A and B are shown apart, each in its own frame.
Chain A
Amino acid sequence: MIKATNLTKQYDNGFVAVDSLNLQVNKGDIYGFLGPNGAGKTTTIRMLNGLIEPSDGSVTIEEKEVKSENALVSKLIGVLPESHGYYNWMTGREYLKLFAELYGVDKKRIKSRVEEVLEWVGMAGKADILIGQYSRGMRQRIGIAKTIVHEPSIIFLDEPTLGLDPQGQKDIQSIITRLNQEQNVTVFITSHLLKEISEICNRVAIVKQGKLLEEGYLDELIKGYRLVLRNENPTLEDIFFSLTTDEVGGSI
């Protein structure tokens, strides 16, 4: 469904943020994209959704090539960026209505669709309050609502639980899981929170300094690293630290 081939981003000063990345996300996956700070996660996600041009390589989403200003691809995907701002002078409902219109949702359906997503994220009772008055958790819920209002088949979530309290993190994780299971939405999620990724993702990729160190289904990775780590039940955390500190790479 998402296929990145030899994806590279090099800046004018020679710095390589992403180096020959190859990854594949299948339909129905909750794909965790892990890495320490500065690993190139946000740059990768921006290349995947067409916000920035790669220096080399290509990205296809549902076999359509992702380019800057590609309206067709824009309608297939929903994105919740990491540093996501809101129009604080709008209510939650107005905000969702705006983006429903911008994404071309059928005018007759907009009202019902907005109510639907508000229910989904548990914000139906707070939809007529100004976003400026929302807590961080409420903003993230509205952000996710905006991401799915146009019924995309794939959503990109860049650090969706950053800055949330444990309950808030749990709520967001629950929404993501429900979206995947009930609405069959493919989720591409970046995070540096290993516990979160291990709880909700079925497939992970681990990057460091722009390079892909490991990729695969989580349960297969865990099985495969038993021997390597000499641990009967290695956790994702164990695998992550072994890769990012030892720079041991390999695919399973």
Chain B
Amino acid sequence: MSSLIKKEIREHVFSRKGVWIFFAISILFSGLTYSFISVKELSLLAQVEVNMTFMKALIGISILVSIILGSTMVSGEREQGTLESLLLTPLSKVKIILSKVVGILVFWLIISVISIPYFYALTYGTNMLLTILSYLYLIGLPLVISFSLLSLAFSTWISSSKNATLLSIVLFLVTAIPMFLSTTMKKSGFAHLVDLLSPVSASMLTLKDWLVNRLGFFFIFMDSLPVLCFLAISIICLFYASKKMDFLGGE
């Protein structure tokens, strides 16, 4: 399995496309960070809010990039004709899928490492850096991985990379809807339901309660429950999807 993991990392993380994505992300981060001192409105923001804004951007970008990556991993192999050879090896389907999960995880970890100098600069003069990094790896990581696992599951179920990517992006947008709605809209009806259940909303609430309101562990844990439930659901979906990774017949 380690050989397959190395292959996934070489193919997706250290490929030409992969490293250019890292460069593009670093440019984005630089633009955003620099705007916190150059754009008048943003420069007047409290330092906690500055870091919250950067964290939201980081998580949003990470999720989008990871779901695009995950949604092409299995369907891409099927389209280029390499899946059959992999399935014929002694490796089980679960191990083949897990090696792809590790590939996505490594990809995200590199993005998170790129973000560290930016967080250092933005938390300078405060003792927030450890809290920020704790949030990033305890809440941000499960959230990004959950979306990646689901996109990988779609990639396994759906033969077309394009359709798998589309479905993954729609799922992300549905869970991110509350971020675009006003407070009033989120207080009742369907928007309220989505806001309650959405792991993206839950992660934002956890961020606010952890950094701004400085609530205790119990409240943080309760806030982050939808994220953890979403992770569990995505693991189950991926497990079942891996069993369906096969061929119909003579196609």
Chain A residues with CB under 8 Å of chain B are 9, 11, 17, 38, 40-43, 46, 49-52, 68-69, 71-72, 74-75, 77, 79, 81, 83-87, 89, 98-99, 101-104, 146
**Which B residues lie within 8 Å of A84 (CB)?**
81, 84-85
Question: How far is the CB of B174 from the nearest CB of chain A, in Å?
Answer: 31
Partner pick for B7 among A42, A69, A77, A87, CB 8 A cutoff? A87
- What residues of A have a CB within 8 angstroms of the CB of B7 in the complex? 87, 98
How far does the alpha carbon of A83 sit from the alpha carbon of B82 in the complex, in Å?
A: 9
Asked whether B215 is an interface residue with its Cβ less than 8 Å from the other chain, the reply is no
The residue in chain B whose Cβ has the minimal distance to the Cβ of A102 is B89
Within 8 Å CB of A74, what residues of B? Answer: 88-90
Residue positions of B touching A, CB distance < 8 A: 3-4, 7, 10-11, 15, 77, 80-82, 84-93, 246-250
Top-10 shortest CB links A-B: A85-B81, A101-B3, A71-B90, A42-B250, A43-B250, A74-B90, A85-B80, A102-B89, A85-B82, A43-B249
CA A77 to CA B91, docked complex, whole Å? 14
Complex: A86 Cα to B86 Cα, angstroms:
11
B159 to chain A, nearest CB (A): 14
CA distance A75 to B90 in the complex (A): 7
Q: Which residue of A lies closest to B92 (CB)?
A: A69
Do A102 and B246 have beta carbons less than 8 Å apart?
Answer: no
Q: How far is the CA of A226 from the CA of B235 in the complex (A)?
A: 63
Instruction: Return chain A residues, CB-CB under 8 Å to B91.
Output: 71, 102
Shortest CB-to-CB span from A152 to chain B, Å, is: 11
Do A98 and B3 touch (CB < 8 A)? yes
Most buried by A among B11, B82, B84: B84
Q: Say yes or no: A99 contacts B85, CB within 8 Å.
A: yes
Give the residues in chain B near A98, CB-CB below 8 Å. Answer: 3-4, 7
By the criterion CB–CB under 8 Å, are A40 and B250 in contact?
A: yes
Q: In the complex, how many angstroms separate the beta carbon of A49 from the nearest chain B beta carbon?
A: 6
Q: Determine if A102 and B90 form an interchain contact, defined as CB atoms under 8 angstroms apart.
A: yes
Min distance, Cβ A45 to any Cβ of chain B, angstroms: 9
- In the complex, besides A84-B85, A85-B77, 6 extra interface pairs with C-beta distance below 8 angstroms are A41-B250, A69-B92, A69-B93, A74-B88, A85-B80, A102-B86
Q: Indicate if the CB atoms of A9 and B84 lie closer than 8 Å.
A: no
Are A52 and B246 within 8 A (Cβ)? Answer: yes
The answer on a CB contact under 8 Å between B84 and A17 is no
Give the distance in Å from the alpha carbon of A83 to the alpha carbon of B250 in the complex: 11
A residues less than 8 Å from B87 (CB atoms): 51
Bound CA–CA A179/B223 (angstroms): 64
In this complex, what residue of B is CB-closest to A110?
Answer: B3
Between-chain CB contacts (< 8 Å), 25 pairs: A38-B250, A41-B250, A42-B249, A43-B249, A43-B250, A49-B88, A50-B88, A51-B84, A52-B246, A52-B248, A68-B246, A72-B90, A74-B88, A75-B90, A77-B88, A79-B88, A83-B81, A84-B81, A86-B81, A87-B82, A89-B11, A89-B15, A98-B7, A99-B85, A102-B3
> Which B residues lie within 8 Å of A50 (CB)?
88
A11 to B: closest C-beta gap in Å: 7
In the complex the two chains form, what is the Cα distance from A23 to B175 in whole Å? 54
A157 to chain B, nearest CB (A): 13
Question: Separation in Å of the B93 CB from the closest CB of chain A?
Answer: 6
- B3: chain A residues at CB < 8 Å are 98, 101-102
Query: Which residues from chain B contact A40 at a C-beta distance below 8 Å?
Result: 250
Which of B90, B92, B249 is close to A17, meaning CB atoms less than 8 Å apart?
A: B249
In the complex, are the beta carbons of A46 and B250 less than 8 A apart? Answer: yes
